[in-house]
Copies of this chain bind each other. A is one copy, B any other.
Amino acid sequence: MDFARGTKLTIKYNGNVMEVTYISRDEDYLTVKLQNGYNITIPENKIDVLKSSEPQTVKKKRITLKHGNGTPISLITTGGTIVSAIDYETGAVHPSTDIRRIIDRYPYMEEKYTIAVREFDNILSENMQPEMWIKLAGVVKEELGKSHGVVVSHGTDTMSYTASALAFMFESLTGPVIMVGSQRSSDRPSSDSFGNMEGAMAFSSTNVGEICISMHSGTSDNSISLHRGTRTRKMHSTRRDAFRTVSGKPIAEFKNKNVDFLSEYKEKSDKISLSDKIEEAVSMVYFHPGLSGQDLEKLSEGKRAIIIMGTGLGHISQSLFPSVRKIMSMGTKVVMTTQCMAGRVNLNVYSTGRELKKIGVVSAGNMLPEVALTKAMYLLGNYPDEDFESMMNMNMRGEIMEREFLGDCY
């Protein structure tokens, strides 16, 4: 018994004759939709199919985007939860490029913005690879040439990686580039995608000249935060307010249809400058008790740099020092970050740190480990080796916070 999804069936089950819609099959079970809307899953051998008729084509009611006189914004879609839909085959959520249904929620947005939608790709963000950052950067550059600002819809899983990679690639921008995602898929009435997108559009029409991330400020639907791409992490796997500016305040907040700036930012420039080379051979290593020098060496093979997430102020076991020396002697850069969620690496305080410093390990200051990764990939792609350490230590895109304050999120 195989039918096209949506086939109307008349079946006899458990003595009753029922009109149902065929949904799917999983081994010996069929899932059909009853007239009251419920799906039921029943063993094939318990059913008699009395009649079947071809599925009707589904009518979709769609409003096309108006192209008015609002601020021109380009919307680049890459996939992710924010535009996800249900996959009835696997029963799981999958990416979709159909973003209009989000925008349709706020009719006022169609007056305020003239939105051009550009489909970049349609993937789950965990499949984003460095090579795609390069392509995406090109598209962003192109779109910024046409629009006031750019909104990039992106899966939340690796959104902060993409954001920081783009941030390094663009030395200057002619408008805001706002990345936006969602933690509840937009097929749900309670989805955060509507609010996050509303905020992203508002942020993308400001004079910010940075790569940022627009997500819920808290669990409530009343405020959207704008985070700097190079200071943001996804801090919770499921909550709406998963994204946080680590060790600082968000750049801005969108509340009651209004953007409030909370901290300093780089204004947009009159020219765009893109250096789009990326060295992929960089890896992250999470130090932990039991990690052996051999492990470290194997992971470093063929790498131009490794980013170690050490403990505390930037420490690893002394038993690994010979391997670090060996790795460095092969020309691989070793950068030290901390697996603590926040705070600075400082190789002056403890003897372990001083020895690592002497060996030549580069301290990443208070750069987030993921950002140290994208920065290393960027630097090795675009600058000579000898500038690596000094540029890692230089605050290029707001990735190093010279001051941390009590009371800020960590």
Question: A-side interface residues toward B, CB under 8 Å?
Answer: 87, 90, 92-94, 124-130, 133, 156-158, 161-162, 165, 219, 233-239, 242, 280-291, 295, 298-299, 301, 309-319, 338, 340-346, 348-354, 369-370, 373, 377, 406, 410
Contacts and interface: CB of A to CB of B under 8 A. Distances in A.
A341 B233 CA distance: 9
Contacts of A90: 351, 354
B127 A242 contact: no
List 9 A-B pairs, minimum CB-CB distance, nearest first: A237-B343, A157-B311, A126-B315, A157-B312, A236-B343, A298-B298, A92-B351, A286-B286, A235-B341
A340 B373 contact: no
Contact of A312 (B156, B295, B346): B156
B352 A126 contact: yes
A312 B410 CA distance: 19
Given A124-B351, A298-B299, 17 more contacts: A93-B351, A94-B351, A126-B310, A126-B318, A127-B318, A129-B289, A130-B290, A234-B340, A235-B341, A237-B314, A238-B313, A242-B343, A280-B290, A284-B286, A290-B373, A298-B298, A341-B341
21 contacts: A92-B348, A92-B349, A92-B353, A124-B315, A124-B350, A127-B318, A128-B317, A129-B289, A129-B290, A157-B312, A235-B341, A237-B343, A237-B345, A238-B343, A281-B290, A284-B286, A284-B291, A288-B373, A290-B377, A295-B299, A298-B301
Given A157-B312, A239-B343, A344-B237, A284 B289 contact: no
Contact of A127 (B156, B319, B410): B319
Contacts of A161: 288-289
A350 to B, nearest CB: 6
A340 B92 contact: no
Contacts of A94: 350-351
B125 A311 contact: yes
A319 B312 CA distance: 33
A92 B352 CA distance: 9
Given A93-B350, A126-B312, A285 B282 contact: no
Nearest to A312: B157
B406 A219 contact: yes
Best-buried of A87, A128, A161, A290 by chain B (most CB within 10 Å): A290
A285 B288 CA distance: 10
Nearest to A93: B350
A29 B250 CA distance: 47
A242 to B, nearest CB: 7
A405 to B, nearest CB: 11
B236 A342 contact: yes
